[in-house]
Every structure is written in C-alpha cells, then in structure tokens.
Structure 1
Amino acid sequence: MADDREQLDNDAFLKRVRSAAGVLRVHGIGVGDVVAVALSNRLELVVIMFAAWRLGAAVTPVNPGLTDDEARHQIEDSGAKVVITDARGTGTLDVAAFAGTAAQAPDSVSPASDAQSPDAISPASDALALIIYTSGTTGRPKGVMLDHANIAAMCRMIVDGIGLDETDHSLLVLPLFHVNGIVVSVLSPLLAGGRATIAGRFRASDFFASVEAARPTYFSAVPAIYAMLVSLPDDVRPDTSSLRRAICGAAPMPAELITRFENRFGVPVVEGYGLSEGTCASTLNPPAGPRKPGTVGLPLPGQTVAVMDAEGHLLDAGSVGEVVVRGPNVMRGYLGLPDETARTVVDGWLHTGDVGRFDTDGHLVLVDRIKDMIIRGGENIYPKEIENVLHTHPAVLEAAVVGAPEPVLGEVPVAYVTLLPGAAATAEELVVHCRGSLARVKVPVSVVVIESLPKNPVGKIDKPRLRSFVVSS
C-alpha cells in the first residue's frame, strides 16, 4: 500500500494496522461497534478500516467535505462510537462539533505508537463491515449495510471479472467514502496479491504525472473524470504504457467519450455498472472482449441480473423494464429503515431504480433512471436517449437533460451541455442536431450551454441541482 507520502510493504502495513487497532481499543472500540472515519484519501484511512475489522467493528467512511450538519446525520445515524479525523484539518469538518467522540488519526496510528495491539478476531461472515451512505439525491442519505460476506463475494467477482493477479497495481483516484474506491481500487488488488497506490485529490492536470510516477496497471473512475482528461490540452501526451485497462463505473459513459479517451491515450476502457446497495458492481464489459461501448456489459458470475416489469414479472431480452439484481453481493438493508429496505429488496431481488434492456448478446443497455423519466403530455421520455444524441455532436463534451415544469404538457425536456475545449456550437445548432435523430416530442425545448455541469461528491452529474436551475430560471 502507498499514497503520496509513503509506501508500506506487507509487514509495515500489518504493523501499522496493529498499532491502529490498539488506539481504537483505547477508545473503547470492540465487536459490533461502528467507527466513523472522516479523512481525505490517504493511507491512514485504509489502515483504520483494517484495524476496525481486526477488532470486529464496522466502518462508516465520511466525506470530509460535508457540512457539520450533514456529517452529524451520518455519524449519529450510524451510531458511531468514535470519529477519526485529521488533526491538521485537511477537511472542512469541525471536530469540536463531535466533542466526546473525536480521535485524531495521523500521529496515533504511526508505527511509533506504543499502544499494545489486541488479538485479532475473525468476524462472522454476516457481521457488519461497512455502512456506506448514499449521495442523498432523493432526501437524507441512507446507510447501506454491507457485511463481510458481501465484501468477500464482491471482491472475488471483481478479481475474476477484471482478471486481477499479483502483477496488478491500482491507482486510486475515486473517494474512499464510496464503495467503488474501497472495493475496486484497494481490496480487490490486495486480495489478488497486487498493490494499491492512493492518489490525493484528483486534478486532471496532475493525473498523468501520477500515472508516470506510480506505473499502475489500472485505475477506476467516473465519466466526469474521463471527460476532464480528454479535455486536457493537445500537447499533453503522457506515457500510459503501464496501464492495461481503465475502468468506468458510477454512471453510464457515452460511447463517444470512450472512443475519444481510447484513441487519445491508447488505454482500453472497461465499463461496468452497479450500486452501493449491490456492493459496487453487477455487470462488466469483459476486458478480453467483446467490449461493447454503449452497454455496461455482462452480468458478473455469481450474480443474476434481470429486467422486470412493474408487476414483478421477469422480461425477455430486448424488453425494457427495471433492472433487478440477485446474489451474495446484495446489501443487508438500509440501516434503521426496514420499510425502505422492504421496498428495495423484494424476494431477494434488489430493485435498482434503473431502466434497462438486454441486447441479443446478453449485454445490459441502461435506458435511464426511473425517477429521471419525463412525462410530456402523457408521453414517456427518457433523458438518456436525448443525451446520447447530443453526445454524437462533435463539439459536445457532456450533456444532461432534465424535465422543466410546463402548465399544459406537465413537463418538457431541457438540455444542459458543456463543450470540448476550443469547440463551438450554438444552442439552436444543438436543437437542430436533436431534430435530426429524435421524434418531435423528445426534442429539448431549449439547450443551455454552460461552462461545467454540477457534480455530486461521487462525481455523477447532479440532476437535482439542474432541476433547481430550471425552476429558478
């Protein structure tokens, strides 16, 4: 394990974990407790996670960029017994707001700690391991409960699905308060006998310098990161020869963006799909092929992924319905929300809220989110279909479509677009472009060209914020 400041071999990492476990024990942490960790991406966060598991405790990673009110909700809702934060104040959290539960991280988990290391326990497979909080786009964030069996199953699927082995080396750029960063970029390569390097805060201008210095074999990112990388100046021509693959998740990546990235940097993009409620991933475009841009790939072995209608009937290939998932990776439930859990996991099927279909080759094609669907005069419109058309325009970098209130039709589609550096396109030109490929009812009533689209903490386009733009304009 390594980060921007130091590198630990297995022996040094184990020593650090034992020291951290001793510190946690001093703070009263034991079997069944919850440790909240509010740290930026750094080695100590992973050390503390392993230390908590060594004691039989669970971990809830807290986004250090949250406001005190947002952090308090997660810390109190999770029942955290202690909050590990940064004495140097690299985040924005006010430690004093959590007086009585705060412990400082960096010095207390250093190799020089004299704390006696408690004996390691072997947690039961159904013991709680992680509480990951959703991004909160539909209200207060919910705590997704993942047990050790969920984590173990998911890591096995990732290792087998990507084909990781002892020669692999991941470069972590996604936040460690999200399950993708934890599972795909840390736990899976370590389980395969490989290595992980934690990069600091992502900056497109610095990213390839990190690649050239660390020489990773892969990294995992979201579409917004790939969009920033293809927007780098033309004279940026990095050495990417160590990279065997790049992985994309969290949101569907437009096929045009995949092509731009692959053509420019010579690294194949492996797109997958999943939810925190499914411990990260459920489908993957096989690295060895066939990869089909525009799809999110095949179901991972060990999971069943299907499409279901509103009455709960499974549908045949080609039919459009809600994507549902079943397997050992499906969460234990939402913490303290049994009714919400019962609505989300029905007869063992995780209802994703995504609309999709399987093509003739068995690859999953995501149509849209159910909640993002626009109903215009009784006609169902999926924003992703409009976004896909906008992405085919050579000047478009990112696109997002939301519904705007309309007194007669109920809702009408409005598009927000960012352009590639140096490219030009007018709003009217983009509307005309849509008319060439879409039925009249689907053509956005307006296109707004903006400098950047709002993103949530995980890097997904923040459509609730875009909807607020529409309402306030």
Structure 2
Amino acid sequence: MTELIPDYLPWNPDNASDQRIRLSDPQVSLTGAELDERVAGAAEHLADLGVHRGSVVAAVLPNQAELVIALYAAWRLGAAFTPVNPTFTAAETRHQIENSEASVVIASDALAAENPASLPSQRFGTAVVVPVTDLRRAPILPDQVTSPTPVPGDTAMLVYTSGSTGRPKGVQLTHANLDAMSAAQNEVVHMNRDTHALLALPLFHVNALLASIIAPFRAGGRTTVMERFDPVAFARAVTELRPTYFSAVPAIYAYLLNLPEELPDGTVPDFSSLDYAICGAAPASIDMLLAFEQRFGTRVITGYGLTEGTCVSTVMRPEDEPRAGSVGRALPGQEVRIDDGAGGAAPAGVPGEVLIRGANVMAGYLGRAEETAATVVDGWLHTGDVGVLDDEGYLTLVDRLKDIIIRGGENLYPSEIEAALCTHPAVSEAAVVGRPHDILTEIPVAYVTLRSGLETTPEQLLEHANAQLAKIKWPAALEILDDLPRNPVGKVDKPGLRDIARRVPASTAPSPTSI
C-alpha cells in the first residue's frame, strides 16, 4: 500500500527543527518542534493504552490545542479519530463512543472526574478515559512508536452527523479523502507557510478541522484556536493577532456587523491583515456579505459542502467576481452536476438535486451499508440539496430536500428533537420545523398533540425534551395543537407548519451573542 505524501503527515521530519509558532490557544503557543514533541508523547501514551492501527480514539474537549494534538497522535498510530461535541448529554456522548467503538476517550478533567475508570460510565461506557491534563507531553522512550504509517484507505476520522432517522451516524473519512480535500483547498485559496488561520468554530466540526487545521498545517502555516466565538473577543483577536483568514458561518458575520465602531476597551477593529474570509455551512445574504466587505475591507468567499464530501465541494475563488447567491465552482478533483431525475445531468439553468463526485466522497456511513448505498450511487454523492448550475459551472442553491434546520451553521435534525419530545408520556405526536431568524438563519420550533385524557404544559414538555438534547437543539418555542396539519395522504404537512412558524416575528426568538 502506498504511503501518503510527507507534507500531509503530522509528523513531517521538518517539524523537529521548526521554531515557528504553528498552533496556539489561550493557554499555549507551540512551535513546530514543540508540537511534534507533544504529538509524539501523546502517541506513546495512547500506544501504552493499546491503541494501534484500526483503533478509534475519541476526544470530548472544548476548543483547545490538546484536541489537535490528540488527532495527530491517533494518526501517528494508524488509528482513527472521532471528535465529540462537549455539550452533548451523557446519552448522546455514549452513543457516539459506543457506535464508533472508541477504545480510548480523551476528556476534560471535569468530565473524566465524573466518570471514573474503575467502572463503566453512563457517558463513556467501557472506554478508557484519559483526563486531558494527564495526556503525556513528551515521549518517555523516543522512537518507541513504530506503528504503521496511515495509508490512503485507512479511516482517518469518524465525524458524526444525524440523518433521516434522527440517530447520529458516523461518516467515515479516509486519509485519501483528507489528502484530496486539503490539497484542493490549498490550491484554491493559495495557502502557504505565511498562512495564519483564526479558528472560532467548534472543533468537533469537519469545517473547523479541515478548513482551519489540516489545510493550513499542510501548507506549513499556523492556526490560532479560540475557545468559542464571541464577537468582541473575535474582533480583538483579528486586530491583535493578524491572521490571514478565518472560516465562519453566516451568523458570525451578522454578529460582527453589529459591533460598534469602537470596542468597549476603545479598540477600533482592524481586519486589514486578512487576505479573505470564508463563509459556509448555511445560506448567506449577499447584502450582508457585501456590507461586511465594505465595513471591514475583507473579501468574503462563499462555499458549499457536506461532511459526507469532506467539508467543501464548491467555492468562490478569491479572484472570482462576486455572484449573488452563488456558492462558487467545483474544487479541483471534484465534479458537481445537477440530477435530471433520469440518471443524467440537467442542463445549465435547470434545477435539480446536487450530486458530487471525486476523491473527497466519504467511504460510507459506519455500519450502515444500505444508507451508504442510497447516498453514494455509482460514485456520485446525493446531497439532498436542490441547486442550479450556470453555463460557467457556478452553483446556486435553491432549496433543501431534507428537513434540516440550519441554526447558526449547525445542522439540526427535526426527527431527533421530535423523538425526544415523544418520550413524554402525554405526547401523541410531535413535529419540528425551522423558523427564520435574522442572525442564526433558523431556529427550531415544535408542535405537538397530546394523548387523549392526558394534560401537560409547553414548559413541562420543553424541560423534558431539553434534558435529552444538547442546548443548541432546544426548541425556541412549543405549541400544543389539537391536531397537526396533514397532506392528502395523511402525512404531517411540514410546509404548512413552516408557514405557521413564519407568521411569528423572528424578533420574538432568542438572540444569543455567541455561537
């Protein structure tokens, strides 16, 4: 089997003498040499715990350098890595740990303390739990780790995303997928050793890992990791740290546009170091992006992609002229076409389902052969999104075939929220749809019917469901109906519910100041 190119490997021999800062967070700044030592120490630690090629290592951590170190340490052993949303409930976390068959979990000290290694826990099952501060910082026996180098077909990451069943499933991304994606990203946006990414998106996201970690590292650049997005802190970081780009969701641009001309400490935001900014994960208003460009003097390039396609498949190049509503052209090595419904490609200007083909397409959904076969057909990834291509290959998204709710760039799946509501004994049926929101794009709202003779209140139902869901999935509102609207065949009429939801002014929805 062929080894991957050296530049892609996290233990590139050049790192051992690299004295440039490569990775920073609020607690630490690491040179290439220091990062190499930290990765070697963590890999040795994991190897001592039995991790080897084919194993899976999980991390349940907030944004911090150690999550990146754990990722590269797993790869150094030929193992796969699965990042877990640290805000997940115990049940959500345990599903991902057990489904991925992770043998080791690197967790925050607080979570590790709540789940002692002496017995199976509700959150981590039987996996070995390593408190993040215990993770070895340097190898005890240099060169002890001799596990095989990852090869293109090895699973590199298992990134979990929900589907039509509402049950999160693991997207298998191979090293070949990541190699193809990072090379294409570097080519399109011209990354190099001077590239400096400022990262505020959550690191359990494929966007954050690919666009802001793997791609700039491959080019020899650096990344600064923020714990979370806060508009004032972010603007101050851009002003002081002088990054060359960042990748964000539309809500972040809206928050930044709402900043005053001067920050509370008197700082005037200065974005002049940025070569560009990237916007993806949800539809963005062209007026908002142009307003951002005018105020901050930074070109925003839009893109489109799926976790199943290893992050991004189309993008506006920095040199492209802006086109209202377009998410750009296919990345090098990828093909994008519009399905004509008969197995062929629709002509320019005709809408249809967006299909993607290339080395970026996932190996499959872990343990879900039927769903994989239905999603990837003859090498074409069926996205479930409706779009149209113009004569020059620029893609514009029209609608979504799926019922996904995109809240601040996060994909929320109504069926998962509905399932949580339906565990309440008084609930007969539940339906969740998205309500438009000026900043977050959409927020989930719920409609339920009750079992005959049983009573409850919206507040009680929300409390019951929220206990089972990460906070970002909590419905913003809930209404109890006598019956749900239905279409002629008796199915719940979700378009009708969306119309009902839109009648409530978006201003009544919560407007958080962080993502």
Contact in 2 for aligned 1:19/1:110 (Cα 8 Å): yes
Structure 1 residue 351: deviation in Å?
0.1
Name structure 2 gaps, 5 residues minimum.
1-22, 405-435, 448-483
The question of 1:36 aligning with 2:52 is answered: no
Residue aligning to 1:85: 107
User: Which of residues 161, 168, 189 is equivalent to 1:134?
Assistant: 161
Matched, 1:309 2:309: no
Structure 2 equivalent of residue 471 of structure 1: none
Alpha-carbon distance in 1 for matches of 2:39, 2:187: 27
SS in 2 for 1:32: coil
Matching of residues 40-79 of structure 1 within 5 Å = 40-79=62-101
Q: Distance in 1 between matches of 2:115 and 2:86?
A: 6
Query: Quick check: 1:400–1:416 contact (8 Å CA) kept in 2?
Result: no
Normalising by structure 2, report the TM-score. Answer: 0.74
Residue 350 of structure 1: aligned partner: 381
Q: Of residues 224, 241, 257 in structure 2, which corresponds to 1:214?
A: 241
Counterpart of 2:171 in structure 1 is 144
Partner amino acid for 1:333?
A: G
- Kindly provide the CA deviation profile for residues 188-234 of structure 1, in whole angstroms up to 9, marking residues without a partner as x: 11111111111111112211112123211001011121122212234
Change (3 A) 1:231 1:40: same
Aligned to 1:450: 507
Distance 1:190 1:91, change over 3 A: farther
1:115 shift after superposition: 6.0
Alignment correspondent of 1:118: 145
Aligned to 1:243: 274
State the 1:401 CA deviation. Answer: 9.4
The total of aligned residue pairs comes to 410
1:106-151 Cα offsets, whole Å, 9 max, x none, are 3333535636541253112101100000145750111000110000
Taking the aligned partners of 1:342 and 1:89, their CA distance within structure 2 comes to 37
* C-alpha distance in 2 between matches for 1:330 and 1:314: 19
Residue 273 (1) aligns with residue 304 (2): yes
In the alignment, the residues of structure 2 paired with residue 252 and residue 225 of structure 1 have an alpha-carbon distance, to the nearest angstrom, of 13
| Structure 2: distance between partners of 1:71 and 1:54 | 25
Match of 1:201 among 228, 242, 259: 228
What is the CA–CA distance in structure 1 between the aligned matches of 2:292 and 2:398, rounded to whole Å? 23
What's the RMSD between the two structures over aligned residues? 2.8
- Going from structure 1 to structure 2, the CA distance change for 1:281 and 1:18 (only over 3 Å counts) comes to same
Change (3 A) 1:355 1:13: same
The amino acid across from 2:347 in the alignment is D
Deviates more, 1:8-17 or 1:98-107: 98-107
Distance 1:361 1:65, change over 3 A: same
- Cα distance in 2 for partners of 1:306, 1:363 equals 11
Relative to the length of structure 1, the TM-score reads 0.80
Distance in 1, matches of 2:247 and 2:112, equals 24
Q: Which runs of 5+ in 1 are unaligned?
A: 374-389, 418-443, 460-473
1:450 match: secondary structure: helix
Cα separation, partners in 2 of 1:339 and 1:113, compared to 1, 3 Å: same
Q: Secondary structure at the match of 1:412?
A: helix
Moved more, 234-243 or 123-132: 234-243
Q: Percent identity?
A: 44
In 2, distance between residues paired with 1:94 and 1:162?
A: 45
Q: CA deviation at 1:313?
A: 2.0
Matches of 2:46 and 2:39, distance apart in 1:
10
The answer (yes or no) to whether the contact 2:74–2:81 under 8 Å persists in 1 is yes
- The 2-side partners of 1:59 and 1:224 are apart by 28
Shift of 1:449: 2.7
What does residue 254 of structure 2 align with?
227
What do residues 351-385 of structure 1 show as CA deviations (whole Å, max 9, x unaligned)?
Answer: 00000001233210000111249xxxxxxxxxxxx
2:129 maps to which residue? 103
How far the C-alpha of 1:252 sits from its partner, in A, is 1.8
SS of the equivalent of 2:45 reads helix
